[in-house]
Amino acid sequence: MWPPASIAFCVQRRADLVPFQHRRSYIENYIPHIGIALQEILDLTDPERDGTVNTLDDVLQQSRKF
């Protein structure tokens, strides 16, 4: 049987991850729009824009690993 402190820690950890996951999905939804804005500002081609979006997604994945 787990001690009550361990159970509380697990429950708190799960509660802490919920806002993190919502924030992450919110950011992921706007990455393509950021790519389009950068394309308009920097006069990027479609393949350059797609590469930039992929890079932004990779950076997000690397910075949010847990």
Residue 43 phi, psi (nearest 5): 55, 50
Instruction: Please state, in angstroms and rounded to a whole number, the distance separating the CA atoms of residues 66 and 28.
Output: 17
Place of tokens 């690993």: 65
Domain boundaries, the chain: 32-66
Predicted TM-score (pTM) of this structure: 0.62
Instruction: Please state, in angstroms and rounded to a whole number, the distance separating the CA atoms of residues 10 and 34.
Output: 36
pLDDT along the chain (66 residues), means of 10: 63 65 77 94 96 91 68
